[in-house]
Amino acid sequence: MNILITQNKSIKFLFRIYYFIFLLIVLSVLTSLIFTNSFYQKSIMTKNVSINSSEKDLQISYIRDLQTAKSLLQNKLIDDLHIDQIRETKIIPNITVVKLPNDLKSIKSIQNRKELFIKITLPLIVQENEKLLSINKKIKSIKSNINKISRKEAIWAQKLMKDYKVDSLDALLINVDEIPVSLALAQAVIESGWGTSRFAYEGNALFGQYVWGNANEGIVPNERETDAKYKIKSFNSLSESVASYMKNLNTNFHYNEFRINRFVYRSNMIPLKGTNLVDYLFNYSIEDDYIDKVKKIIEINKFEDFDSLSIHQELLLMTDII
């Protein structure tokens, strides 16, 4: 008997139940397929994000055991870094060379040797300056919202004041600021002999900072007097040397005039130039003509072209060349 045309109420009721169950099954299957497809699409998207992230990670090149100047010159990251392009665009990639090659002197071309030193040192100086500017900006933010600062911000500011040897936010703003790139680069050139000094390649010391006492983190100069106790401070990396140099200029009482005049320039929106501010570093060296020497290095090499450099936002990945 055909149940579709039967008049039996019991069979009709049973059919309706089966039909309802069948609809439920179909709906369940369809719903499952929809959600499965949605989940599949999400999985694909997640997978793509993961792939893109991995591809992005591939941009970070960790190059190890670059012991010679030749191997560094042949490194693609260094080879692609063009000084003239940096001067023109005012943008520099975020590359970190951890250590100088100990045979930098082996590069016969003086021009090539100088360019390699600039390629190594310039990014480090800009990186440290950007850190200082970021901290300076945060100090200004706290100062302008002093009645609303959090406990965490207060502790941070207090620690920073202790670190920079000051007792107010105003004094902190004077001390925490960038060092003109041209000035830092010129001093690195003089103090490290364009990266060829023993202190530079043995101890990553770019700025000839002295250290006293029984500290081990130093190199004894060959020409040091017999009764002298000082050493040339050494570092684990070139970045540490740059950071220490800037911290020295930003905290040492010998450079108070440097910091005050830098603040005056900054407050009057006058660009910070190495040839101007070096006049206040008369205590940096015992050489009588040191200031003139720094200015000459800046002018001959046109280092003030680098005073307004920034790290390209698309190149913020830190690349270590070891």
Cβ pair 196, 105 in contact under 8 A:
yes
Rounded CA-CA distance 82/84 in Å is 6
| Contacts with 311 (C-beta within 8 Å, 6 or more apart), sequence order | 91, 92, 93, 94, 123, 126, 127, 130
pTM for this predicted structure? 0.77
pLDDT band, residue 11 (cuts 50/70/90): low
Which of 28-42, 124-138, 279-293, 296-310 is predicted least confidently? 28-42
- List the structure tokens of 120: 């190594």
Mean pLDDT, residues 199-221: 82
Q: Any idea where the domains of the chain sit in the sequence?
A: 1-58, 69-206+235-321
Rounded CA-CA distance 272/268 in Å is 11
What sign has the CA pseudo-torsion 50, 54, 55, 56? positive
pLDDT band, residue 32 (cuts 50/70/90): low
pLDDT band, residue 69 (cuts 50/70/90): confident
Which of 98-112, 139-153, 214-228, 301-315 is predicted least confidently? 214-228
CATH architecture of 69-206+235-321: Orthogonal Bundle (1.10)
Mean pLDDT, residues 76-85: 88
**Higher pLDDT pick, 61 / 66:** 66
Cβ pair 231, 219 in contact under 8 A:
yes
SS (H, E, C) the chain: CCCCCCCCHHHHHHHHHHHHHHHHHHHHHHHHHHHHHHHHHHHHHHHHHHHHHHHHHCCCCCECCCCCHHHHHCCHHHHCCCHHHHHHHCEECCEEECCCCCCHHHCCCHHHHHHHHHHHHHHHHHHHHHHHHHHHHHHHHHHHCHHHCCHHHHHHHHHHHHHCCCCCHHHHHHHCCCCCHHHHHHHHHHHHCCCCCHHHHHHCCCCCCEECCCCCCEECCCCCCCCCCCEEECCCCHHHHHHHHHHHHHHCHHHHHHHHHHHHHHHCCCCCCHHHHHHHCCCCCCCCCHHHHHHHHHHHCCHHHHCCCEECHHHCCCEEEC
pLDDT at 282 over 50: yes
Cβ pair 6, 12 in contact under 8 A:
yes
Place of tokens 């179909």: 26
pLDDT at 54 over 70: no
Which of 52-61, 69-78, 292-301 is predicted least confidently? 52-61
Rounded CA-CA distance 308/91 in Å is 9
| Contacts with 251 (C-beta within 8 Å, 6 or more apart), sequence order | 164, 165, 175
Cβ pair 259, 174 in contact under 8 A:
yes
For the chain, state the CA radius of gyration. 32
Question: Which tens digit of pLDDT belongs to each residue from 228-253?
Answer: 777 888 999 999 999 999 999 999 99
Q: What is the dihedral of CA 318, 272, 208, 99, to 10 degrees?
A: 20
Which of 96-100, 130-134, 288-292 is predicted least confidently? 96-100
Mean pLDDT, residues 90-96: 89
Mean pLDDT, residues 88-94: 91
